[in-house]
Structure 1
Amino acid sequence: MRKRYAVCGVSNRAINMFIGPMLGTFSEGSELVALLDADPQRHIICKKKYAAIANVPEYAPDEFDRMVRETKPDVIIVAGRDDTHVEYIVQALARDLDVMTEKPMATTGADCRRILDAEAASKGKVTVTFNYRYAPIHRRIKEMVLEGKLGRITSIDLNWYIDTYHGASYFKRWNRLREVSGGLSIHKSSHHFDLVGWWTGQRPVEAFAYGALNYYGPDGELNPRREDGRFCGTCDVRQQCAYYMRWSSRSADIQVRDDHIGTVKVAGAGAEAQQGYTGYRPDACIYDSEINIEDTYTATVRYDGGALLSYSVNFSLPYEGYRLAINGTKGRLETTEYHMPARVPFPTPEQTIDYFPLFGSKETIHVVQREGGHGGGDPVLLEDLFLGPDPLRTYPILSGAADGAYSVGTGEAVWRSVKEGRPVRLDEVLK
């Protein structure tokens, strides 16, 4: 059966992750029937890239009802700015439609509760496209847990590192405003909290955390001059900005690949931005005073099966990746990833998994890698989304609304704990 898809939020992610594959690899079973976005320019850019959808109808955000009535989609793909997710998801569920949504599912625990309640009353279901689960290393870790190699999980150490290129990008864009992103403990860390919950098979109960804005904002130690409203493309002190010069030279911007950021061109000093979207520039100054999120967190999370997570994330480091250790009653595993090796200023080893049985010899596991975004996870996720779950896989991997809610809820509990100086229970956040 050929499914009909409507896209709400014609973002770079929507265009490259969903629309492109829908028109190519999965065209036999998929049909794009509608585009909805607040910016008509995004429709133009999307259709310029894919001429085959020139006649697909376009809709404004307040035309969801008309879109559904006229185009009769089976599935709503939600891929716009984070704060827009909840309304499209709830409206789709009210019409018994299935939903595929980018993470985070919403930006607050209260909105997650709305989605859970809407899904309970609907024939539709929500799938959250957590692609990190699909990376070959991450699937192998899940399999080792299911095989019983670690026994009952008792503790997890997860330290995530975001480099100065990727980390600074969040503070140049809309993500820097908590009211539209939920802050990075939700926008970014929900990925990490979802992984831990999926690996362990446990739900978070309570979080205690510290956080700070250490690198960005007007008090950033490397700010060349306290002044709001600057943009990298036109800034007269950009050559004194270490973050800008790390990835550029005096004569040209260096093109750096990043899975999360579209190829955006911004004209030089004295000219207008050429990024193409209306009223949007992805090169705002990382030292602006409107920034109201943190760039550093440490947290402890308690889970319902007894596991304890020790977590940290830092958004301004010399390299990108993570260090993970999972401890159980029968053993321990460790792995270290260096993400985007081309951006790491030193040689990086192949990522492996070291397994230490509680009594016995260490084993080093080399996992077969594959091509594709997010460590080879994106292509496998897309197969499950458009072809259905792999019948040969022996364990569930697609995320549902409850997974989305607990990942966002943990991120909000972390932020509330930072602000209130106390442990915060998940049932407070998701009540």
Structure 2
Amino acid sequence: MRVGIIGLGFRLGYLGYVLKAVEPDFEIVGYVDPDPAGLPGLQAKGISAGKAYATPEDLIASEKLDLLMIGSPNHMHLDHIRLGLEAGLKIFCEKPVVTTIGESIELARLMNRYGHERVQVGLVLRYSPLYRDLRALQAEGKLGHVVSIEAAEHIEPYHGAFFMRDWRRYGRYSGSFMLEKCCHDLDLYNGVVGARPQRVASFGGRKSFVPENDPAREGINDVELFHRKPSGWLGSNRVFDSDGDIIDYQVAIVEYENGVGMNFHTNLNVPDQFRRFAIMGSRGKAEGDFVRGYLNVHEQLTGKHIVANTYSATALSEHYGADEQMAADLLANARSGVPLPVSTLNALEAGILALAMDEARMTKSVIDLRPVWDRFDEALHGRTG
């Protein structure tokens, strides 16, 4: 399989290694990136990234590609997706797929014109064993009708500090922290609910990564923790006085079209991180944690503990066993059209929810998404221009 990469950062450098481990015939024939942070990692594993090209247009014109992979900074995704679609290519794009409501509607127009199956998005948690088990149990009726959800993603200080130092600290490039990092989680729970979010409220800000919390003020100068994860493009050493505009904590409440309610909480400075959920249904409750590796289900009528699954990290995966499964499924889809568990439409719906959370936070208002969905559906299903 011949693959070209636009944006060879840390993530696609790692995914290139995973794809090569899953499929020995996987070959990166060329890439476009003025400063390819992911290239040394590939080279250290003996994997070639092919020829360096100056522009995406040069790459697409010069190479016969089975798959175009996009890992450029988020604000560039739409233009790179458009180039790939116009060239007739199959595309894999890292999440989040786009960074604004306007871009979401424009991508919906492109999907209407070029087809819904041409672009796949790296919402890797959909491939995790825990989530697959959860959806299977839900399909079996173990939960009944979903009533409400409590969910959170909290990351350790080294990871939070990375966001304060990386290009992702600027909303104009990343979209926001909620979009960049938590679109995974929002997509999972959108899938469980089976309906679109309708009304959103949110609150948050920055209280951890601020100057008064800098350990250096207390004479603690060993700050390796906050620089453990390397940053790439536009990287900075500033953690507690970051010039970025992202938050370091946020809470949100969501009402879905079918009446399901959800609260969601994220924090970037949690020393014992977790990524957990509790899903309350009419027939049972599911509780799980991707980081701590468990899924428990209790039956509503009897209180009986009917599922007690545990999960372990794999040597290859950064995401609880999901990366190698995603790689295998992506290759099968590119070769023969095998359906994937997540679509570009799912990614756009999760992204719009994240962006609505940020709008609600900044405007201190409840956001009604119904007008957005009307515009989105008109673009998705309307006439091609």
User: 1:6·1:76 contact (CA, 8 Å) conserved in 2?
Assistant: yes
- Going from structure 1 to structure 2, the CA distance change for 1:387 and 1:246 (only over 3 Å counts) comes to same
User: What is the match of residue 324 of structure 2?
Assistant: 379
Provide Cα deviations, 1:118-155, integer angstroms capped at 9, x if missing partner.
12211561111111122222211111111111111111
What is the match of residue 400 of structure 1?
343
Query: For 1:367-404, what per-residue CA distance to the aligned partner results, in whole angstroms no more than 9, with x for missing partners?
Result: 45461321111111111011339x9x9xx653221111
Distance 1:195 1:240 in 2: 43
Change (3 A) 1:52 1:325: closer
Q: Residue by residue, what CA displacement relative to the aligned partner does 1:298-328 show, whole Å, maximum 9, x if unpaired?
A: 1111222221111111111121113311011
Determine the structure 2 residue equivalent to 1:36: 32
Partner residue of 1:165? 158
Q: 1:222 matched to which residue of 2?
A: 213
- 8 A contact 2:199–2:368 mirrored in 1: yes
Alignment partner, residue 25 of structure 1: 22
Aligned to 1:6: 4
Residue 379 of structure 2 is matched in structure 1 by none
Question: Is the aligned partner of 1:58 residue 2:52?
Answer: yes
Gaps of 5+ in 2: 376-385
Matched, 1:355 2:297: yes
1:96 equivalent in structure 2 = 88
Deviation at 1:333, TM superposition (A): 1.5
Match of 1:240 in 2: 219
Residue 361 of structure 2 is matched in structure 1 by 418
Q: Distance in 1 between matches of 2:33 and 2:319?
A: 26
Contact 1:333 1:353 survives alignment (8 Å): yes
The CA distance in 2 between the partners of 1:410 and 1:89, in whole Å, is: 21
Contact 1:133 1:195 in 2 (8 A): yes
CA gap of 1:398–1:368, structure 2 versus 1, over 3 A, is same
Partners of 2:217 and 2:40 lie apart in 1 by 29
Instruction: Give the 3 Å change call, closer, same or farther, for CA 182–70 of structure 1 in structure 2.
Output: same
The partner residue of 1:318 within 271, 288, 291 is: 271
Residues in 2 aligned to 1:289 and 1:165: alpha-carbon distance in whole angstroms: 14
Q: More deviation in 170-179 or 122-131? A: 122-131
Larger radius of gyration: 1
SS of the aligned residue for 2:214 comes to coil
Identity over the aligned pairs, expressed in percent?
Answer: 21
Q: Distance in 2 between matches of 1:409 and 1:364?
A: 33
Q: How high is the TM-score relative to the length of structure 2?
A: 0.86
Matches of 2:103 and 2:77 in 1, distance apart?
9
Unaligned runs of 5+ in 1: 225-236, 265-274, 340-349
Partner in structure 1 of residue 383 of structure 2: none
Q: 1:33 is aligned with what amino acid?
A: V
The structural deviation recorded for 1:352 is 2.8
The 8 Å contact of residues 136 and 369 in structure 1, kept in 2 or not, is answered as no
- The answer (yes or no) to whether the contact 1:116–1:401 under 8 Å persists in 2 is no
Tell me the secondary structure at the aligned position of residue 195 of structure 1.
Answer: helix
- Corresponding residue for residue 14 of structure 2: 16
Counterpart residue number, 1:303: 256
Task: Give the 5 Å matches for 1:108-187.
Answer: 108-123=100-115, 125-187=118-180
Give the letter for the 1:332 counterpart.
Answer: K
Q: How many aligned positions are there? A: 369
Q: Which residue number in structure 2 is paired with residue 293 of structure 1?
A: 246
Q: Equivalent residue of 1:121, what SS? A: helix
- Residue 335 of structure 1: CA displacement? 2.3
Counterpart code for 1:9: G
- Alpha-carbon separation, structure 1, partners of 2:48 and 2:80: 22
Secondary structure of 1:374's match?
coil
**For the residues of structure 2 that align with 1:289 and 1:388, how far apart are their CA atoms?**
41
- 159-168 or 291-300, larger mean C-alpha shift: 159-168
2:238 alignment partner AA: C
Whole-Å Cα distance in 2 between the matches of residues 335 and 23 of structure 1?
31
**Superposition deviation, residue 356 in structure 1:** 1.9
Q: For the aligned residues, what is the CA RMSD? A: 2.8
> Secondary structure at the residue paired with 1:221?
helix
Q: Is the 8 A contact 1:326 1:333 kept in 2?
A: yes
CA contact (8 A) 2:128 2:321 kept: yes
- Secondary structure, aligned partner of 1:305: coil
